[in-house]
Structure 1
């Protein structure tokens, strides 16, 4: 099974890059996953954007701390199975933290988790949450993929080792900068600390650079806006998994630039 995993999509420029890549090179993948917590105007996701992305061939949507930024998400996140929020939010939070889909006779489980360092300390422990979900899914799926949305590489790397041999793929999102540490771990889990973003290249994590730099200079709040006048970078990973064993066979980074 060939998986295409797209990093955080930033606003309309990021969506355009996704559509172009999928149109030109997306035909060879069995499943396409993408993190969409910044897909609508740089903050959150709307139903329109979700449906637009789905119509272009994305199968499963993951997210993170910005999933709640567009309030309309509360109206539809419980009505769809393929838009995930982190599973370690407390009980009672809308939405689902994992899903199962079937492609070509292969059952794929996707889990969305969020780290706690420098994020939301009141979340449930993501390591222990994974244990519970793994026990529920291990006999139901052939391939298990985890989006670990976290700030620090140490927390991501520790989780990768923790899940090694149980998850087929563990990939990091949230920091928007791709890391050069794609490995197949000892137990057969494909790992990378951060896939990177899909959005404007000459920007501060997809946002026009002036407002973030002003914030760094003056320590005052600034309203960020998506950079839409620069070339865009498409960051993703390709992973090949043996569905008979659940072990990863290959992981490689993908980077494309578009005007």
Structure 2
């Protein structure tokens, strides 16, 4: 059995610090073999920088996924052009886009592939068809890369597109977990052909704001319809994600468990 830990969208400095603080404990508690985290909001709540990516990877993440904010920090694109495969951008960008949409890891329990897809409903920019490309890439990873275990982060706005992605890839991949909305859903399931599914993993970000941002500015925007900046909120942080256990021989999921942990700023100094 191989165990995957996935942590939802890391938001700003509080999210980064909570993730790095909690990761050793989570790995020990669940016997984690591979850690994946969505980090597209890690840099002040928008995008990811090479420096922050390296910090999160050094803290114990094996792969970082992204999404529609992947290019918000301009220095990331040239860094990905150099070929750091441990940070993924959505697979369904056009050919020639910097970076990679999938990666294969060699672990003591076998080859593990990670794939990033981005939806097309109510999300920008519009990309290539994730259903067709995701399916063909899953087949390639199985046949050419000999990866029985495949994890998919589907970064999308609508629940229907995420659910449909799960069914479309059922039996081809080990897990399809959604990101982007920052709100964890309660619909974890093992689909009919053995794929673990969860519509949204939630976020690793401030719990007292609105999706990790200061609530006052969000409320003002809704009340006035005027432009506003949305600073990252403060502590405490709610770390959300999922743990998936997979049969390393068949690649089929055995179990999926949602996780939530509250982290206070004082916890960082108490350890």
Tell me which interval the TM-score lies in, with the shorter structure as reference length: over 0.9
Does 1:23 pair with 2:29? Answer: no
Aligned to 1:37: 40
CA distance in 2, matches of 1:177, 1:25: 20
CA contact (8 A) 2:68 2:125 kept: no
Secondary structure at 2:69 match in 1: helix
**Per-residue deviation at 1:200?**
0.5
Aligned to 1:69: 72
CA contact (8 A) 2:78 2:98 kept: no
Aligned to 2:81: 78
Output one character per residue of 1:40-96: Cα deviation in whole Å (capped at 9) or x when no partner: 111001111011101110001101000100000012112201100001111222111
**Per-residue deviation at 1:124?**
0.5
Q: State which of 199, 203, 211 in structure 2 corresponds to 1:205.
A: 211
CA distance in 2, matches of 1:169, 1:158: 13
When structure 1 is superposed on structure 2, of 29-38 and 95-104 the one drifting more is: 95-104
Q: State which of 192, 195, 198 in structure 2 corresponds to 1:192.
A: 198
CA contact (8 A) 2:139 2:172 kept: no
Aligned to 1:220: 226
Aligned to 2:100: 96
**Per-residue deviation at 1:120?**
2.8
CA distance in 2, matches of 1:68, 1:174: 15
Aligned to 1:3: 4
Aligned to 1:239: 244
Output one character per residue of 1:70-129: Cα deviation in whole Å (capped at 9) or x when no partner: 000012112201100001111222111111111114101111000000013631010011
Does 1:122 pair with 2:126? Answer: yes
CA distance in 1, matches of 2:200, 2:26: 22
Q: State which of 253, 262, 268 in structure 2 corresponds to 1:257.
A: 262
Secondary structure at 1:204 match in 2: coil
Q: State which of 50, 75, 83 in structure 1 corresponds to 2:53.
A: 50
CA distance in 2, matches of 1:82, 1:121: 23
Q: 1:83 to 1:121 in 2, by over 3 A?
A: closer
Aligned to 2:156: 150
Does 1:165 pair with 2:171? Answer: yes
Secondary structure at 1:195 match in 2: coil
CA distance in 1, matches of 2:33, 2:52: 22
CA distance in 2, matches of 1:179, 1:122: 25
